[in-house]
């Protein structure tokens, strides 16, 4: 049986050959992710529980012709656009904007003194854009995986994730935490990953029971984390931590936040309350999933969504509808729990569901969502997926 990245890899290799007139030497893949629980806590050093999904960004590449100069020529199949990124000097952000993620990764390799040969490359992806499933991290990590393979100098996994996170900070102006890049690097086919974003320690949480699956429903309301709302939330967490006297908000306790309600004021109190309670929910959900207690895990997902909607204010009417519809289906219909996933303001929800009911659940969500909001719903089911890797490499 072909994996998702196998099919996409064949497409990338074929399109590379059609465009550049030769077969690729390397084909690399990096997955998107769905965050089961632990939202808007990573940049405060909190706990998160993401799972790599079988939607990938794949890059096919080969050494550039001898007279090409020292550059990475990168073609995006999605927008049918090509950009040259210099390898001898630090790239600067610019147009087209989609290439900034790759420019940032190239800059990270240069800052570490890692040399990369001139390359021609083509990128394809089936990670939904703007859906809160980390299409940007998948692109960054796939680019880094290619540069590792071409340069012959692999990075330590955590360092690779840090490099890609810095690329997003500096070249896309999104001050994200480490979660997205780390799960794209370290994803496993046997489960999700509990990540302590303060220490960057990880623990595999088994999620291989065939009786349950994650249904990912894309509201098709595209979000953008670079529009300022994400940075505003992060700044609020930094200020709340300062007022509570802790280095990062994840180091505060619910009791500390409750005691400081008057000092923090209504807004910062709600933001801080979300972070500290979400950490507790994430730890409990990891235990519940590991123990096969789907009802407990699902209940924590509903609580997480309520906190994100009311305390952190990053949901949207469409996301709220999808969670309400899932709750209405209930355990009797195969739904254990649901919540928004990703940065919010649009994007996707994730639903923990019985595997033998997901088709009925997805169809019902799509039908009732269309009736309420007049727009289509896109949904799919994913099992845990393999992290970034070289799919194919041939000798010179």
Can you give the pLDDT at residue 177?
83
pLDDT at 191 over 90: yes
Tell me the C-alpha to C-alpha distance, in Å, between residue 192 and each of 57, 117, 338, 385: 19, 35, 16, 9
Residues 194 and 237 in one domain: no
The DSSP secondary structure of 273-342, one letter per residue, reads HHHHHHHHHHHHHHHHHHTT-HHHHHHHHHHHHHHHHHTS----HHHHHHHHHHHHHTGGGTEEEEEEES
pLDDT tens per residue, range 290-348: 999 999 999 999 999 999 999 999 999 999 999 999 999 999 999 999 999 998 889 99
Tell me the C-alpha to C-alpha distance, in Å, between residue 379 and each of 9, 136, 335, 365: 22, 20, 15, 9
Q: In this predicted model, which residue has the larger pLDDT, 115 or 224? A: 115
Can you give the pLDDT at residue 3?
61
Q: Which domain holds residue 185?
A: 4-204+386-393
Helices (H), 22-128: 100-111
What whole-number distance in Å separates Cα of residue 172 and Cα of residue 27? 25
What whole-number distance in Å separates Cα of residue 275 and Cα of residue 388? 29
pLDDT at 225 over 80: no
Percentage of the residues of the chain whose pLDDT score is greater than 90: 89
pLDDT at 188 over 90: yes
What whole-number distance in Å separates Cα of residue 130 and Cα of residue 223? 5
Can you give the pLDDT at residue 1?
43
What is the average pLDDT value for the chain, to the nearest integer? 94
In this prediction, residue 161 has a pLDDT band, given cuts at 50, 70 and 90, of very high
pLDDT at 2 over 60: no
Residues 198 and 214 in one domain: no
Catalytic residue among 42, 54, 180, 196: 180
Can you give the pLDDT at residue 175?
81
Residues 265 and 282 in one domain: yes
By three-state DSSP, how is residue 270 classified?
A: helix
Which sign does the torsion angle of CA 304, 309, 314, 320 carry?
positive
Residues 114 and 220 in one domain: no
- Domain total of the chain: 2
Say whether 170 is catalytic.
no
pLDDT tens per residue, range 57-109: 999 999 999 999 999 999 999 999 999 999 999 999 999 999 999 999 999 99
CATH number of the domain at 169, please.
3.30.230.10
Residues 180 and 265 in one domain: no
Can you give the pLDDT at residue 64?
97
Average pLDDT of span 207-218? 94
**Structure-token pair, residue 324:** 């309400």
What whole-number distance in Å separates Cα of residue 212 and Cα of residue 293? 11
pLDDT tens per residue, range 229-288: 878 999 999 999 999 999 999 999 999 999 999 999 999 999 999 999 999 999 999 999
Can you give the pLDDT at residue 360?
98
pLDDT tens per residue, range 242-255: 999 999 999 999 99
Residues 140 and 275 in one domain: no
Can you give the pLDDT at residue 370?
97
By three-state DSSP, how is residue 154 classified?
A: coil
Can you give the pLDDT at residue 393?
79
pLDDT at 226 over 60: no
Residues 220 and 193 in one domain: no
Can you give the pLDDT at residue 227?
61
Can you give the pLDDT at residue 4?
66
Tell me the C-alpha to C-alpha distance, in Å, between residue 92 and each of 161, 170, 254: 21, 10, 43
Can you give the pLDDT at residue 228?
75
Residues 51 and 189 in one domain: yes
Residues 167 and 210 in one domain: no
CATH number of the domain at 299, please.
3.30.70.890
pLDDT tens per residue, range 18-38: 999 999 999 999 999 999 999
pLDDT at 224 over 70: no
Residues 289 and 261 in one domain: yes
Residues 198 and 229 in one domain: no
Residues 167 and 249 in one domain: no
């Amino acid at each position: 049986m072909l994996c998702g990245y196998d099919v996409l890899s064949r497409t990338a290799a074929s399109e590379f050959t059609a465009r550049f007139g030769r077969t690729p030497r390397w084909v690399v893949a990096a997955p998107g992710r769905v965050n089961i629980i632990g939202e808007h806590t990573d940049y405060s050093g909190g706990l998160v529980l993401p799972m790599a999904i079988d939607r990938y960004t794949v890059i096919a590449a080969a050494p550039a012709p001898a007279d090409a100069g020292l550059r990475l020529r990168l073609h995006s199949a999605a927008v049918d656009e090509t950009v040259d990124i210099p390898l001898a000097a630090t790239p600067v952000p610019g147009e087209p904007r989609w290439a900034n993620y790759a420019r940032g990764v190239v800059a990270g390799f240069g800052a570490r003194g890692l040399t990369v040969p001139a390359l021609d490359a083509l990128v394809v992806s089936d990670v939904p854009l703007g859906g809160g499933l980390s299409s940007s991290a998948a692109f960054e990590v796939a680019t880094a995986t290619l540069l590792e393979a071409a340069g012959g100098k692999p990075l330590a996994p955590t360092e690779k994730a840090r490099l890609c996170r810095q690329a997003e900070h500096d070249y896309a102006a999104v001050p994200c935490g480490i979660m997205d890049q780390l799960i794209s690097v370290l994803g496993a086919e046997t489960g999700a990953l509990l990540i302590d974003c303060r220490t960057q320690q990880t623990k595999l949480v088994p999620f291989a029971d065939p009786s349950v699956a994650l249904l990912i429903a894309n509201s098709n309301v595209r979000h953008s984390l670079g529009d300022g709302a994400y940075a505003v939330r992060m700044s609020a967490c930094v200020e709340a931590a300062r007022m509570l006297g802790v280095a990062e908000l994840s180091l505060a306790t619910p009791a500390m936040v409750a005691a400081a309600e008057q000092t923090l004021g209504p807004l910062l109190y709600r933001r801080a309350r979300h972070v500290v309670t979400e950490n507790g929910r994430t730890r409990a959900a990891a235990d519940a999933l590991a123990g096969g207690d789907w009802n407990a895990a699902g209940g924590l997902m509903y609580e997480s969504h309520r906190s994100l909607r009311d305390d952190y204010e990053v949901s949207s009417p469409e996301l709220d509808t999808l969670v309400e519809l899932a709750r209405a289906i209930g355990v009797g219909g195969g739904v254990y729990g649901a919540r928004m996933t990703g940065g919010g303001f649009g994007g996707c929800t994730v639903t923990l569901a019985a595997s033998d009911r997901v088709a009925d659940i997805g169809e019902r969500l799509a039908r009732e969502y269309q009736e309420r909001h007049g727009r289509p719903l896109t949904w799919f089911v994913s099992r845990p997926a393999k992290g970034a890797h070289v799919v194919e490499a041939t000798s010179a």
